Amino acid sequence: MSTATKNKFTRTKTNGKHKKNPGGRPRKYSPETVEQIYHALDDYIENNDIPILAEFAYQNDITREYLYKYEEFSTLVKRLRNKKESQLEKKALRKEVDTGMAVFSLKQLGWSDKKHMELTGKDGGPVELEKKYHFIQEVINNPQAKETIAEQWRQQFAQPK
């Protein structure tokens, strides 16, 4: 990781107040400052093995939300995320980084470790819940017939060995 010094970008102000913007809320930074931030982010991505947007924002005294909000940075933010994702995956596979931390970071990038299970009935058909429900109701309503019903259950639903 780079040990860059903290960079503060100056916000656009006139006489202590933000400039008026006829189209709504004024931008925090002038076009020149936006360009400086753009180049600083580009350099940060190039010079860091695993770039982290929050780290860049902190080092430069700006917010992550600002970088997400403006279209000027969208390509760089995507590039940063892609590099971070590929580097974390590669380094985790090589055991060059803590695997648990890599998994945590990758989950923040949209990865998941969900398992998909599909339940099917006999011969891949649908599960026959109605028949099973009938047997269960009969056991509840007629406890004396429990053994007879259990044998019928085995004959009806037992898996062939």
Single pTM value for the model: 0.58
In one letter, which amino acid is 105?
S
103: left (phi over 0), alpha (psi -120 to 50) or beta: alpha
**In 3-state terms, the chain is what percent helix, strand and coil (to 5)?**
60, 0, 40
Output the CA torsion sign for 34, 37, 39, 42: negative
C-alpha distances in Å from residue 28, one per residue of 18, 22, 37 = 8, 15, 12
At 83, list the tokens. Answer: 């590099």
At 12, list the tokens. Answer: 């656009």
Q: Are 130 and 136 in contact (CB under 8 A)?
A: no
pLDDT of residue 130: 67
pLDDT of residue 121: 76
Average pLDDT, the chain: 80
Q: How far apart are CA 56 and CA 49, in angstroms?
A: 13
Q: How far apart are CA 132 and CA 77, in angstroms?
A: 54
pLDDT of residue 145: 72
Q: Would you place residue 5 in the very low, low, confident or very high pLDDT band (cuts 50, 70, 90)?
A: very low
Angle at 111 between CA 105 and CA 114, to 5 degrees: 120
pLDDT tens by residue, 56-87: 999 999 999 989 988 899 999 999 999 999 99
At 103, list the tokens. Answer: 């998994």
